[in-house]
Amino acid sequence: MADKKTLVVVESPTKAKTINRYLGNEYVVKSSMGHLIDLPKSRLGVDVENGFEPDYITIRGRGKILKELKREAQKSRKVYLAADSDREGEAISYHIKNSINKDSPALDVKRIVFNEITESAILEAIQQPREIDMALVYAQKARRVLDRLVGYSLSPLLWEKVKKGLSAGRVQSVALRVICEREEEIEKFVMQSYWTIEALFKKSKKEFTAKLIQYNGKKVDITTESEADEVLGKLKSDRFVVIKIEQKERRRKPSSPFTTSKLQQSAGSKLKFSARKTMMVAQQLYEGINLETGPVGMITYMRTDSVRVSKQAIDEVRQFIVEHYKKSYLPDTPNLYKNRSSAQDAHEAIRPTSVFRTPEAVKPYLTRDQYKLYKLIWEQFLASQLPPAVFKLKTVDIQSNGGILRANGKKLLFDGFQKVLKSDSSEKGNVLPDLEVGEVLEPVKVEKEVHFTEPPPRFTDATLVKFLEESGIGRPSTYAPIITTLIKRYYIERNNRQFVPTFLGRLTNELLVKSFPDLLNIEFTATMEEKLDEVEDGKMKWAQLLKDFYFPFMASVEAAKQKLDDYKGITDEETEYICDKCGRKMMKKLGRFGFFLACPGFPECRNARPLPLGKCPRADCDGFVIERRTKSKRVFYGCSKYPECDFMTWDKPVEEGCPQCDGIMVAKKIDGESFLVCYNDECGYKAPVTEKKDIQLVH
């Protein structure tokens, strides 16, 4: 045994490379490349008559990896399973342990976990091996089987009633419902106008504005221009007198370090990252970056719903503050943050593994995206342990002929955490001049301004993740895959980073909501997440959860099969385009990447081609603009006669043709404003977009 080594099994090769650096020659680190054993793809794989036991098999193409791990284990004195410390990681470890012990029953196989890939964390984990946590395994099994039961019941229903290739999922279908309902709100929205009145004053070379907030003792609500003119005339006919001045201090506390959802939200709004991209880059930072001294894990585990931070990390960041900032920037005691009641608290918040590795110091070793995300995480963590920002707020009420106008001022007294997290202009303050009660002010101008109510905004990655988290739908590890699946299935599209449901998505949602109102209910889905947490906590049996769900659900499936109308072919539409192989009029059909043209003579004639989106704008070309894809699968729009015609654009055409030349138009931002622009250079038509509803992308 003396010459035998210890085998450590992790999930990814990058992580293996980083960990291998910290362990000596007595260890061999191998990667499983994720799950090796799972439910079969081609069948249900769940014995519903025998306690919902799953029929696990080795994933196709992974048998060689499993065989190599078992062979390496037979040469080892012990095995440590170091997959991620969550439900999925525990399940991966459980299946690998069973496979190894089946061939080597006497071999000591233990589980080790860590929150960060650093030398101290790895060595500490090696000293504290444990058995597999079966409660975590059961929770993962319950979720996996539950999602399989739903998917394998709903998807065939959609194939039968709509079209082949569709899919439905327990959580993704709820997210789709939310996006579709928001789109319905936008379509039903009726724009209304309202008016505000503001006065501009000047004193001691300082200009400031005051807004009318009250008139004749009532809150201002001006809905017509004639009413605005009447109020404006009365205000101008009298003196403007300061009647009230209030001053107070306001302290704004820093936010906690990032959880998974908050990281996705912040990266979405500040860096314009999708949820999927955020998690991909975070995974790279977690698994290890090659610094000058070798591979190092840069951040803690990125799938967490906890804001807890270890004492060691707090001690380090407080030392960093002492060394880099004035004494006033160190709070007397560390800032502590409270978890949400639903948080599992299995991991720390997302933070740098060492705050002394500043973004600028490691920038040469990071890609541009890695640097941006690391900087975001580093600054948020450092700011979370700095004192509050302190402002002096000043409110001045000015009276004129029954109206009260209010001016608000703000002065930054102490920047606190904003020393690190640079604030926007609204947080820097708007300082008012010195004024006194009873002082008469002479306005520079008093003006009315019309405004229009706006529809609720479409969801983005950031706002959808926020909604899902606040509603208790899904868990940190599921937000990004939910969005990716909806886009992949062509249920939603991204338009200027906003999610727009497709015709297929709306039809699918309508059918599912009609037949399964409980399953697609937000409260029901959130309750199911709580029950899965109860399985993890050992408070509920996994098979009982499935039994309670399955039989009422299947009754709904059988009812839907009988009641649902047949929508097959609903998206098919005859066009004027002629099949160049057999001469038939081609049909507009809906596929997995959107609409396309197909010959109705299938299977005799299998001709198909992209759907033309409009005439090519080149004057000497009679081709059509079609959707194309780069080698990396990025969508662009080019001429059907390529390479004879090299016209291309990244901008997707809108449904409306140019009113001057009937050419294609695209939505473009010019100097910050949205316009519909004709792509025909000889035409030059351009019109401002007055409402979001003006922009309807071609399908």
Measured between alpha carbons, how far apart are the two ends of the chain, in Å? 66
- Cβ neighbourhood burial of 539 (10 Å; 0-12, 13-18, 19+): exposed
C-beta separation of 532 from 139 below 8 A: yes
Catalytic residue, from 94, 301, 329, 371: name it: 301
Give the chain's length. 699
Q: What share of the chain is helix, strand, coil (3-state, %, to 5)?
A: 35, 25, 40
State the DSSP string of 275-323.
HHHHHHHHHHHHH-EEETTEEE--BB-S--------HHHHHHHHHHHHH
Helix spans in 105-259 (H): 119-126, 134-161, 172-188, 225-236
Which residue's entry shows tokens 């948080």?
343
How many Å apart are CA 308 and CA 319, to the nearest integer? 19
How many Å apart are CA 299 and CA 524, to the nearest integer? 35
Of 589, 595, 515, 565, which is closest to residue 168 (Cα–Cα)?
515
Is residue 301 annotated as a catalytic residue, yes or no?
yes
Which residue's entry shows tokens 């940190």?
476
How many Å apart are CA 599 and CA 228, to the nearest integer? 61
Q: What is the bridge-based pairing of β-strands 443-452 and 240-252?
A: unpaired
C-beta separation of 476 from 260 below 8 A: yes
Q: What is the bridge-based pairing of β-strands 27-31 and 37-38?
A: unpaired
Neighbours of 248 (CB within 10 A): 9
C-beta separation of 625 from 639 below 8 A: yes
CA atoms within 13 A of residue 298's CA, in its CB half-sphere: 27
Residues that are catalytic: 301
